[in-house]
Structure 1
């Protein structure tokens, strides 16, 4: 394969999906590719905002902290999108685009005031209009909520203790509306949808097929 860039930027792939859909495991395979930089979600930044675990606060008291948390998420994801690299390929865990899924979820759960949702969406629009953020491909790891709920219980992150199956069902519905049905938001790039309910061996084969499509584009 011959590495190449699109102008002065890398070919950018965003890995999207519900909590527990296997994004981190999927990304680990790309780390073996010398021509690719892998950028994971900055969870550690969200866990330590000037000494405060903002991620945990958001899950425990969303009515109080959802807007604050989402503002910081948008900032950190934008910083990752605009990070310069010499690699011809960039693979990201989620993206600035999927920020809207979580805003939509908060709206449907009524944990945001109307003015908070308005400000978050205006900030999102400004970011896309005034920065050089682009995606060339989205890989949607599509899962059933019951599967990701069991995975989440198994990995036992303390911040996720209060995440319910109903929450995961709503996030699944929003992701499907966005990337599968394509009825919710505009989709910034072509989408490859993978069945991420499979076990590790099955997902390894899905990765191989997906990587071939990416590097041969």
Structure 2
């Protein structure tokens, strides 16, 4: 089995969603010594780094990351690649034209925006799902959708989140290394921490190949 890491490293001081403190804080309780070992406490926001949004994020009463079946976070995937160098703005529904989604669990959009990860520009504006595109995805019986951008929506939008949440889908955001993947022939695994009564969780997302 071959794995491709689709997650960004979480580091202190990295850029984050404007006005939303998702900062990583690591507190060392003890260090290595003759009679001690290293022990730490970690604090972070649920939407830090590469993470998954459960429907509960935008839909009251919907499932959170702790009560959704694990099967919802894994499945066969395809990669959709917009025009190289696509800039900020809505991605059109026509990107799905001619793509066979039969038996597919996840659609991943490789916009190339992850090249700005770690830079302030990453969170200034980005490619996002148009309402029409999100609606088509929500009607396909998918488990989830993923992007290499901060959000399914633009900075002040929520239409894509609402449509996907209503369809019971999970959202993978801030994905990395999508350019290393073929358009199909692999599965995605993005298990959240089992955080009780929460709407999101960091994940170690990976693409799995049988060989």
Q: Same fold (TM over 0.5)?
A: no
TM range (shorter): under 0.3
TM-score by length of 2: 0.23
Q: Which structure has more helix as a fraction of its residues?
A: 1
More strand by share: 2
